[in-house]
Amino acid sequence: MFFQIIIFTENINMFRLKLPTDPRWANIAEDNLEEILTDHAWCEQKAATNAIGLITMVPEHTEMVTELLAIAQEELDHFNQVHEIIKKRGGVLGRTRKDDYVNDLVKFIVKGGDRKDLLVDKMLFAAMIEARSCERFKVLTDNIKDEELKTFYNDLMISEANHYTTFIGFAREIGDPEKVNQRWEEWLEYEAQIIRSYGNKETIHG
């Protein structure tokens, strides 16, 4: 596992995100860990819900359903882990937070047209969220002083990277791989435009 983590952290650019997070965002997050933890918990819940939603769209793909179920369960486990950290620190979960970044990504999902194109975009949408979340976890790992959270977010990086790879793979399985790769480039360009408005709030995507 230690070797795997080294290889992964050296290849954080595997996501090819065009605009990295300013490390100073970690300082904003660490100034209000209670808020970042609550926001993170709800991000995990939403990720589980999204995976379940995808299952309803691909019931004929048995292997995908199996993997999506595993992702949903893992995201719920992460939700539980964050909640346990919150409780351990004497906090409460708090109400769900609006995620403006994710809402901006939703706007780029193809509207109308072929069902296959919609499925591809739904998978790429999920992959993009996992990619940016993983990158943010790396920033937290490298920059915050809280040793417990350093370890926690370092461990989560591996999981999020695996989810990213899975969603990209699903998109290529559903659609023409070359067209999917072209569409992913479009997603990367779009994400680079909207992420410029973020990085100044104590939320995972803020």
Average pLDDT over residues 90-102: 94
Classify residue 10: in a domain, yes or no.
Answer: no
In the chain, % of residues over pLDDT 90: 84
- Residue 123 lies in domain: 21-197
Classify residue 13: in a domain, yes or no.
Answer: no
pTM score over 0.75: yes
Tell me what the pLDDT averaged over the chain comes to.
91
Classify residue 5: in a domain, yes or no.
Answer: no
Give the total residue count for the chain. Answer: 206
Q: What per-residue confidence (pLDDT) applies to 13?
A: 62
Classify residue 38: in a domain, yes or no.
Answer: yes
Classify residue 82: in a domain, yes or no.
Answer: yes
CATH of the domain at 166: 1.20.1260.10
The number of angstroms, rounded, from the C-alpha of 6 to the middle of its chain's C-alpha atoms is 20
Q: What per-residue confidence (pLDDT) applies to 84?
A: 98
Q: What per-residue confidence (pLDDT) applies to 4?
A: 35
Average pLDDT over residues 116-137: 96
Classify residue 37: in a domain, yes or no.
Answer: yes
Give the CA angle between residues 132, 135, 138 to the nearest 5°: 155
Average pLDDT over residues 150-164: 91
Q: What per-residue confidence (pLDDT) applies to 182?
A: 97
Classify residue 48: in a domain, yes or no.
Answer: yes
Classify residue 111: in a domain, yes or no.
Answer: yes
Question: How buried is residue 189: exposed, middle or buried, by Cβ count under 10 Å (0-12/13-18/19+)?
Answer: exposed
* Top-confidence residue, 150 or 8: 150
Condensed to tens digits (0 to 9), the pLDDT of residues 63-92 reads: 999 999 999 999 999 999 999 999 999 999
Six token digits for residue 85:
């950290």
What DSSP line would sit under 81-135, residue for residue? HHHHHHHHTT---------HHHHHHHTTS--SS-HHHHHHHHHHHHHHHHHHHHH
Answer for the pair 73, 67: CB distance below 8 angstroms, yes or no. Answer: no
Q: What per-residue confidence (pLDDT) applies to 180?
A: 97
Q: Total structural domains in the chain?
A: 1
